[in-house]
Structure 1
Amino acid sequence: MESMLAAMNKKIVPLQEYFLQGSVLDASRDILLHRLRGICDNIGGIEKFQDHEMVYTIGTNANNVLQLRARRALDDPEAPWLLRYVGEPDFGDRSKHTLVRSSIDVGTSDNLVQFLTEMGFRLDHEFVVSGHFFRKGRMKITVSKIYRLLQPGDTDKVEALSKSYLVELGVVTVSGQDQVQEEMKNFAEHLKPLVHLEKTDLRKLQQMGT
């Protein structure tokens, strides 16, 4: 684990993710998609995705746990797997318009799960996420539904966790680009009252796949 952390700290450019989250009921999803289509940059129309995400952990106690996310595209079997690390967001700074956390994304081969298992990681939970995404400049907007697996590892048998869609607005950039928060705040205003994008406590959302 120490060698992996050293690689993250020394060999990969540190990035930060600025993000806001909200939700919209199923009945209002199409209205929101229409709004996003009109104000975003997607030239080829709405882009869809369907991913299977597995969350792995390693550590001896609650205060010493490393969590990594392995994600694969169910709608594009040829796409590389994605290994992702995200840090804990800071909820204490009320002066910031968005939440901020460290973020590292690495494309990998399809034996990622085997690699993590051999490293000593254990599967904590898994889920399927399916939805649409848009681009507005450097911002990425996703409208997605989260599904739990009825049988471990079987992505064909899933059940929606709620009657709403998760809406996320995010920017991944190098450290110190706090000015992006004003840009995100202004964009979020254009989506009201359909959806209110806020600084959501992710500690609650992290339990949705359990």
Structure 2
Amino acid sequence: MSAANAAPITATDSLSQALKANIIPNQEYLLQGSVLDSAVEVLLHRLRGLCDNVDAGPETFNDQEVCFSLRDPNQQAAPLMLRVRKALDVRDMPYQLRYIGQPDLGDKNRPTVVRSSLDIACNGMLLEFLNELGCRIEFEYSVKGYMFRKGRMKITVAKVFKISQSSMTPEPISQSYLVELSVLAPQGQDAIAEDMRAFADQLRPLVHLDKIDYKRLGHMSVT
């Protein structure tokens, strides 16, 4: 077949090929920890020395996140949870719609939490669209902090604030910062978890990054 007679490759074709090749980053590898307010500057200094773009310094962010749920009318399935994040410090940034699946608890020896994750950039009509779908707001909060990069790894150090309707000033929920080490990768990239563990070890004893025991948290919520 000549090039003139060949069918054009569409965006749908490219997406289908990517799905078949398992190259879409739909898995999140995650480690989490916390550091007290009094020790956060020491941790930031340590990260500046370990991460990329040392001269430029870390990126800063100030975001608001709203968690929505879409419930099964027949109550036969667990609610679908969707998260919408908006930058408060950059006006023209698109909304980010994110789906996070349940963590894979099959391999106890895996160094990190692994869960499905899909991110989509959306315009300002997103909130109205979710309301029309029947989604309802479960909770919302704001986060302000710093983001570092080390190769494919993303490290965030963020203060989490409670949004109160009665107060115009967000209130911090604790006297510590949430620290997250994450990588988005296609399925079958489990070797990255070992790299994350090695990097997390370099941050001790300033912060202990580990995978969350979701089974234990579920048991605690029941009791």
* TM-score in terms of structure 1 length: 0.86
2:181: which partner in 1? 169
1:86: which partner in 2? 100
CA distance in 2, matches of 1:138, 1:62: 39
2:127: which partner in 1? 113
* TM-score in terms of structure 2 length: 0.82
Q: 2:206 aligns with which of 187, 194, 197?
A: 194
Look at both structures and tell me which one has the larger radius of gyration over its CA atoms.
2
User: Structure 2 vs 1, CA of residues 171 and 159 (structure 1 numbering), >3 Å: closer, same or farther?
Assistant: same
CA distance in 1, matches of 2:152, 2:76: 35
1:28 is displaced (CA, Å) by 0.3
1:15: which partner in 2? 26
1:56: which partner in 2? 68
Provide, for residues 17-44 of structure 1, a one-character-per-residue CA deviation record: whole Å limited to 9, x for no partner: 0010000000000000000000100341
2:9: which partner in 1? none
Give runs of aligned pairs for residues 91-170 of structure 1, distance below 5 A: 91-151=105-165, 156-170=168-182
2:10: which partner in 1? none
CA distance in 1, matches of 2:207, 2:27: 24
CA distance in 1, matches of 2:156, 2:35: 12
- SS of the residue 1:88 aligns to: strand
1:62 is displaced (CA, Å) by 8.1
CA distance in 2, matches of 1:130, 1:62: 37
CA distance in 2, matches of 1:55, 1:201: 22
**8 Å CA contact retained: 2:25, 2:184:** no
The answer to whether 1:25 aligns with 2:39 is no
**8 Å CA contact retained: 1:151, 1:157:** no
Q: More displaced, 85-94 or 127-136?
A: 85-94
CA distance in 2, matches of 1:35, 1:165: 15
CA distance in 2, matches of 1:201, 1:142: 20
Structure 1 vs Structure 2: percent identity of aligned residues? 48
- SS of the residue 1:151 aligns to: coil
Moved over 6 A (4+): none
1:63 is displaced (CA, Å) by 4.0
Structure 2 unaligned regions, length at least 5: 1-15, 219-223
Structure 1 unaligned regions, length at least 5: 1-9, 206-210
